[in-house]
């Protein structure tokens, strides 16, 4: 039994009406700890523990760290998550609730990550948040579930941070014979690491992350994500924070589900009838979820973010 669950696949009448085409939602927000991350992270943790790892280490204060904490608890293995001082109290509490030992070290993620690396002994496994083929294998299972349900979309919309989800979904699409179905890869303007890599033809390090969609905030996408964009149809789309936040609020009303702005970014493409959807009639949106934003925070951010 994998650690993740089979999530609902629903035809969304409200989003279909907004988008003027059939819209299906893969509800990864329903995973334990709130995001698709558990698919890949769960597989990676299980594999490392089966190979003898006695402790799991992460440096993510976000959904990847939460998934490691959940997996460790389920597998009966201790988990250490090293986070920087900037990590919100809520994220630390969620990690502690899952039973992880949280160490707060350094002013930036780089410092926290360096400390996490220094802890690693022979019987520890470090779980990367997005750049690991094991993770991609696990994420690919979400496409297998859609294919088993008998749905073949003519486009798939998803959010991109470090590109782990994209690599997993592209792998799943390939192994289900959907290699020609386009991926619409969405980032916010302040976290456009895939967009810039696709324009440059090589991965690029962003000078800074400037978005409320913190789960999209990888400064550089993984090489494999760029490679997929060169080997299969991938269309890069950027949306504003305001659009992502508005989409979060609309999803609450339409489907009674709270997601992070990282997920709202993908939903915004549908809610705003983005031109990238023009050629398609049956669109699958990966509702990647996210546990770190509260309703109150989404509201406050939206008041503060000007429409672009």
Binding site for ligand PLP (CB under 6 A): 35, 37, 63, 130, 159-166, 215-216, 218, 260, 262-263, 288-290
Q: What is the smallest separation between the CB atom of 59 and ligand PLP, expressed in angstroms?
A: 14
Q: What is the smallest separation between the CB atom of 27 and ligand PLP, expressed in angstroms?
A: 12
For 296, other C-beta atoms within 10 Å of its C-beta total: 8
Q: What is the smallest separation between the CB atom of 268 and ligand PLP, expressed in angstroms?
A: 13
CA–CA separation, 197 vs 209, rounded Å? 15
The nearer residue to ligand PLP, 23 or 160, going by C-beta atoms, is: 160
The nearer residue to ligand PLP, 21 or 190, going by C-beta atoms, is: 190
Q: What is the smallest separation between the CB atom of 291 and ligand PLP, expressed in angstroms?
A: 8
Q: What is the dihedral of CA 42, 45, 51, 52, to 10 degrees?
A: -140
DSSP secondary structure string for all residues of the chain = --SS-PPPEEE-HHHHHHHTSEEEEEEGGGSGGGBTHHHHHHHHHHHHHHTT--EEEE--SSHHHHHHHHHHHHHT--EEEEE-TTS-HHHHHHHHHTTPEEEE--SSHHHHHHHHHHH--TTEEE--SS--HHHHHHHHHHHHHHHHTT---SEEEEE-SSSHHHHHHHHHHHHTT-TTSPEEEEEEGGG-HHHHHHHHTS----S----S-GGG--SS--HHHHHHHHHS-EEEEEE-HHHHHHHHHHHHHHHS----HHHHHHHHHHHTT-GGGTT-SEEEEEE-B-SS--HHHHHHHHHHSPP-
In the sheet where 55-58 sits, what is the strand order? 101-104, 79-83, 55-58, 124-126
The nearer residue to ligand PLP, 80 or 191, going by C-beta atoms, is: 191
Q: What is the smallest separation between the CB atom of 127 and ligand PLP, expressed in angstroms?
A: 13
Strands 183-188 and 234-239, sheet pairing: parallel
């Amino acid at each position: 039994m994998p650690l993740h669950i089979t999530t609902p696949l629903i035809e969304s009448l409200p989003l279909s009406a907004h988008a003027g085409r059939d819209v299906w939602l893969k509800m990864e927000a329903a995973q334990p700890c709130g995001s698709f991350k558990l698919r890949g992270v769960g597989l990676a943790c299980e594999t490392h523990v089966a190979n003898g790892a006695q402790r799991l280490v992460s440096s993510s204060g976000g959904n990847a760290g939460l998934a490691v904490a959940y997996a460790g608890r389920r597998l009966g293995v201790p988990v250490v998550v090293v986070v920087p001082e900037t990590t919100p109290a809520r994220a630390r509490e969620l990690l502690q609730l899952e039973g992880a030992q949280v160490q707060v070290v350094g002013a930036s993620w780089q410092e926290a990550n360096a400390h996490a690396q220094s802890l690693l002994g022979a019987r520890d496994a470090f779980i990367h948040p997005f750049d690991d083929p094991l993770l991609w294998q696990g994420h690919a299972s979400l496409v297998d579930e859609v294919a088993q349900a008998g749905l073949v979309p003519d486009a798939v919309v998803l959010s991109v941070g470090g590109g782990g989800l994209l690599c997993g979904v592209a792998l799943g699409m390939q192994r289900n014979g959907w290699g020609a179905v386009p991926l619409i890869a969405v980032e916010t303007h302040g976290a456009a690491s895939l967009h810039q890599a696709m324009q440059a033809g090589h991965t690029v390090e962003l000078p800074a992350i400037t978005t409320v969609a913190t789960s999209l905030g990888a400064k550089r996408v993984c090489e494999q994500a760029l490679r997929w964009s060169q080997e299969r149809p991938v269309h890069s789309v950027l949306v504003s924070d305001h659009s992502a936040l508005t989409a979060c609020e609309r999803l609450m009303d339409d489907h009674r589900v709270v997601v992070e702005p990282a997920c709202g970014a993908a939903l915004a493409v549908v809610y705003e009838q983005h031109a990238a959807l023009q050629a398609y009639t049956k669109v699958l949106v990966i509702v990647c979820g996210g546990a770190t934003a509260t309703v109150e925070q989404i509201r406050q951010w939206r008041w503060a973010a000007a429409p672009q």
